[in-house]
Amino acid sequence: MSDKEKAQRAGVNGEITLGDVKNEKKIRRKELTSKGEEKLAYWTLVLPGFLIYFAVMAFPTLFSFILSISNYYRGGQLFGPKAVDFKLVGFGSYAKVFQDEYFYVALKNNFKIVLISVFGQIPLGFILAYILNRGLVKFTGFFQTVIYLPCVISTVVIGILFKSFFSPTGAWPEVIRIFNPAYQPTVNANPMASVLLVILWMYTGTYLLIFIANLQKIDSSIIEAAKIDGASEFQALRYIILPALSGVIVTSAILAISGSLKSFDLIYVMTGGGPANRTTVLSIFMYDKAFKGAPNYALANAISTIMVIISFLLIGLTKLAEKKFGGKE
Amino acid sequence: MTKLRKVALVALIALFSVSMVFAEGAKEASADGKVTLRVLNYIDMSEPNSANEVALVWDKFSAENPDIEIIREDLFNEPFHQKTESYVASGNVPDVLYMWPSGRSTSLHTTGSVQDLRPWLERDGLLDSFSAPSLAGQAGGYLGELPNGVTSSHIMFANTKLLADNGLAMPETLDDLIAMVDVLAPKGIQVIAMDNMDSWVMQSCLFSLVVGRYGAADWYDRLAAGEIKFTDDWFVKALEAIDTLYAKGVISRASLNSPYGNCRGEFAAGKAAFLIDGDWAAAAFMEDITTGKALLSREQQANDFEMVVFPALPGEVVSNTTSGVVGTGWGMSADLEMGTPKAEAAWRLIKYLQGEYVQEYRLSTGASFPSNLNVDVAKVIEEKNLEPFIGKRAEFYNTYGTTPVIDGVLHSDVYNIINVGLQEIGLGAKTPATVAAEVQKAWEAWAASNI
């Protein structure tokens, strides 16, 4: 049936004219064009981000996994005339990783860093932020600057600084000699302790800043009202401030955990993972397998894949924690 | 074509265009006929004169060879070795590069990333210009790098004045050294200073010598032939000697917290009777030619300090030996073909770097001892009035026998286990027998697929 016929038939009833039919078609076409444009806009916005994510995150992760189950032990070109004989050989590299005693030392050290970050940097950052925000000490600006200062100094500079500080001829033995003149430096029974101390000192400022920013958002009149009603400083902290900051605390914990797994630069410069791998972490352990002596890239990639899996597990855990404790602001 | 496809196409074209710009790399020769060479250089930052090398060696070459443009990368210690491994893995090594005859440069040799330099020497009639030991086959079985000389990875620097001031004589046995602890420790003086934070130091600078003393000069050949094992007496005794040095306080366990190069100043300041390091460490005590200052003055070098080897060990099968290896030197990428402008430019650079001028310069700074026979060491020392340590170093080479350096003959899959094992012994965490068993296991695993 043509448009004219449609209009004529409809016209009998005096409902639809030829012009109406044409208008309806125009509207439909316009709607379709809008949907197409919407789709185009969507892909235009999403595609660059997706491509970048795929190129720098997803692809290297997948590629790393493939290398970890391959015979790409000594490296070499994968394509071209000089390409190596590349084969998938199974999970032998993973077995090697799990048989290596120093893998567990590295893993343990990573967890120590997670612990010092979550239960050291965050509480300390919060306490310092609380003291400064509530004006419990004078010169708050000065203290804020001093505490935040390590965050703006290059990690390599800090690493070299503390490497010298803790060396047997450095400042640390001299400090001890003030109290014990007969002191002779000996090897530290727990060399990781000095590394953890530096990590605590270095990153507490970041959490201080996060907590101060969020503490400033809390309306001071609420705290004052509570005080008028007879609440103590501790009660104000316990029942007003901490609940208001619960979401920030969980977010800080996520930041701390993800940052801990990435630990490399400071430890690499400060100790190189030594002595006898006592201060190594997974990233240094992986780096050593790839670059110290003849490389074993399959093994290094197996460690890298294990690190990705651990990251997913920890992110899952923090998400669970967020569900339970977060978002009460 | 939809708009989406058009956008994707434009994005891809842009991406590839940018990639092509960055992936183009250096051209063989530019329009003005200049050849560009990529060079990976090693600069020893623990030596006072190392920075002068830029002006006195590299800038001089550029001035004399305006047709060659050099893009140089200067690195030191671990970052240098790790960058080298990255280059090998990528299959894109620089045109000319500083390298070791084995050890940390093993990958360059065994993957054929560098070429045999013997044909170049033959072509130019230079075979007789270098000492025969320096032209021996290296980790890949060929002359992968033209060495600066032959290196002793061990020298025991002795502060003879300090010994005399404390009523002590030069030690002849390990027991003599141990007896010094009771005299020097109460005064806050170490017997032997070492920096053992980096795991290679103990292995290269002392343990290789000890292994040589118990295993003799041919220990590696007998090991490879299956005649001896790491779990046998020769190796376990060597590990026990290191254990004893730590346990008796001859070497402080705190040295495991000491970064490489740290204790040289302490030694020069009289805080230790001996310093154990490689022969290259001699340069650290000499005059900085830009400031005229030195850790040890000429008078001190001449009168108060000596270069000796570690004293006799109980039950050693050879005596008065050091550990030595062909020195570091310069290699050329295997991608460069003889006769092409780039290869010829690279060879010209290597010849310059191992020529009389640079080897004399390195001798004068104490960086290395010449492999080039045209350098008359005695004459240069006299004519240039070089510091006493240069002469003492020459005497050292003529006095002692040599056994292999462990990382010069073993693969890193094995020597890395030794390096960490020595630190475990230093920490008191593992016994020599345990470490020996671990090394044997690593050796068997490596030998199974390589011998």
* Distance, CA of A212 to CA of A218 (rounded, Å): 10
* Distance, CA of A177 to CA of A33 (rounded, Å): 81
Whether B189 is covered by a domain: the verdict is yes
* Distance, CA of B246 to CA of B252 (rounded, Å): 6
**Is B205 in the same domain as B287?**
yes
What are the tokens at B272? 């230790």
Going by their DSSP bridges, the two strands B272-277 and B155-159 should be labelled as antiparallel
Categorize the per-residue pLDDT at B398 as very low, low, confident or very high, splitting at 50, 70 and 90.
Answer: confident
**Is B131 in the same domain as B73?**
yes
Mean pLDDT computed over B288-306: 90
**Is B351 in the same domain as B273?**
no
Q: Do the chains contact at A275 and B11, CB–CB below 8 Å? A: no
A280 touches chain B (CB under 8 A): no
**Is B290 in the same domain as B300?**
yes
* Distance, CA of A72 to CA of B11 (rounded, Å): 33
Query: In this predicted structure, what is the pLDDT of residue B74?
Result: 94
Interface of A with B in 78-97 (CB under 8 A): 82
Query: In this predicted structure, what is the pLDDT of residue A329?
Result: 46
Whether B19 is covered by a domain: the verdict is no
Query: In this predicted structure, what is the pLDDT of residue B26?
Result: 46
Query: In this predicted structure, what is the pLDDT of residue A141?
Result: 87
Query: In this predicted structure, what is the pLDDT of residue A88?
Result: 94
Q: Which residue of B198, B259, B412 is in closest CB contact with A294?
A: B412
Q: Are B318 and B401 in contact (CB under 8 A)?
A: yes
Categorize the per-residue pLDDT at B5 as very low, low, confident or very high, splitting at 50, 70 and 90.
Answer: low
pLDDT digits (tens, 9 = 90+) for A206-222: 999 999 999 988 888 88
CATH number at residue B445: 3.40.190.10
Q: Do the chains contact at B106 and A82, CB–CB below 8 Å? A: no
What are the tokens at B170? 């030069």
User: Exposed/middle/buried for B19, CB within 10 Å: 0-12, 13-18, 19+?
Assistant: exposed
Instruction: State the nearest Cα–Cα gap between A40 and chain B, in angstroms.
Output: 6
Q: Are B432 and B236 in contact (CB under 8 A)?
A: yes
Q: How many residues does chain B have?
A: 451
Instruction: State the nearest Cα–Cα gap between A251 and chain B, in angstroms.
Output: 36
Q: Check whether B144 has a pLDDT greater than 90.
A: yes
Q: Which residue of A76, A287, A293 is in closest CB contact with B111?
A: A76
pTM of the model: 0.81
Query: In this predicted structure, what is the pLDDT of residue A191?
Result: 86
Q: Tell me the C-alpha to C-alpha distance, in Å, between residue A38 and each of A30, A42, B4, B6, B266.
A: 12, 6, 11, 16, 73
* Distance, CA of B346 to CA of B334 (rounded, Å): 11
Closest CA to A89 of A106, A73, A75, A71: A71
Closest CA to B114 of B101, B133, B132: B101
**Is B37 in the same domain as B185?**
no
The letter for the amino acid at A147 is I
SS (H, E, C) A193-216: HHHHHHHHHHHHHHHHHHHHHHHC
Query: Sign of dihedral through CA atoms B239, B240, B241, B244?
Result: positive
Q: Check whether B360 has a pLDDT greater than 80.
A: yes
Whether B415 is covered by a domain: the verdict is yes
- In degrees and rounded to multiples of 5, residue A276 shows phi and psi of 50, 45
Q: Which residue of A has its CA nearest to B86?
A: A291
Whether B10 is covered by a domain: the verdict is no
* Distance, CA of A78 to CA of A96 (rounded, Å): 24
Categorize the per-residue pLDDT at B246 as very low, low, confident or very high, splitting at 50, 70 and 90.
Answer: very high
Point out the domain boundary residue: B352, B367, B388: B388
Whether B99 is covered by a domain: the verdict is yes
Contacts of A291 in chain B (CB under 8 A): 81-82, 85-86
**Is B170 in the same domain as B283?**
yes
Query: In this predicted structure, what is the pLDDT of residue B25?
Result: 47
**Is B104 in the same domain as B228?**
no
Number of domains in chain B: 2
Going by their DSSP bridges, the two strands B150-152 and B146-147 should be labelled as unpaired
**Is B199 in the same domain as B139?**
no
Query: In this predicted structure, what is the pLDDT of residue B182?
Result: 96
* Distance, CA of B344 to CA of B120 (rounded, Å): 10
Per-residue pLDDT 10s for chain A (329 aa) are: 555 565 555 555 555 666 776 777 666 666 656 788 888 889 999 999 999 999 999 999 999 999 999 999 888 778 887 788 899 999 999 999 999 999 999 999 999 999 999 999 999 999 999 999 888 888 888 988 889 899 899 999 999 999 999 888 888 888 888 888 777 777 766 789 999 999 999 999 999 999 999 998 888 888 889 889 888 888 988 888 888 888 888 888 888 888 888 889 999 999 989 899 999 999 999 999 988 877 889 999 999 999 999 988 988 887 787 777 655 54
Helical segments of B97-145, H only:
106-110, 118-123
- In degrees and rounded to multiples of 5, residue B324 shows phi and psi of -140, 160
* Distance, CA of B78 to CA of A273 (rounded, Å): 13
* Distance, CA of A273 to CA of A199 (rounded, Å): 15
Point out the domain boundary residue: B388, B412, B438: B388
Whether B393 is covered by a domain: the verdict is no
**Is B191 in the same domain as B261?**
yes
B252 touches chain A (CB under 8 A): yes
Please provide the CATH number assigned to the domain covering A93-325.
1.10.3720.10
Q: Check whether B16 has a pLDDT greater than 80.
A: no
Closest CA to B136 of B123, B117, B108: B117
Q: Do the chains contact at B4 and A44, CB–CB below 8 Å? A: yes
The boundaries of the domain holding residue B445 are: 153-324+400-450
The H or E element that residue B275 is part of is: strand B272-277
Instruction: Report chain A's terminal Cα–Cα distance, integer Å.
Output: 63
* Distance, CA of A237 to CA of A245 (rounded, Å): 10
Whether B192 is covered by a domain: the verdict is yes
B29 touches chain A (CB under 8 A): no
**Is B213 in the same domain as B310?**
yes
Helix A282-291 vs helix A101-116: crossing angle, to nearest 10: 140
Whether B16 is covered by a domain: the verdict is no
**Is B243 in the same domain as B288?**
yes
pLDDT digits (tens, 9 = 90+) for B87-124: 988 888 999 999 999 888 888 998 899 999 999 999 99
**Is B305 in the same domain as B346?**
no
Side by side, the strands of the sheet bearing B272-277 are B190-193, B272-277, B155-159, B305-308
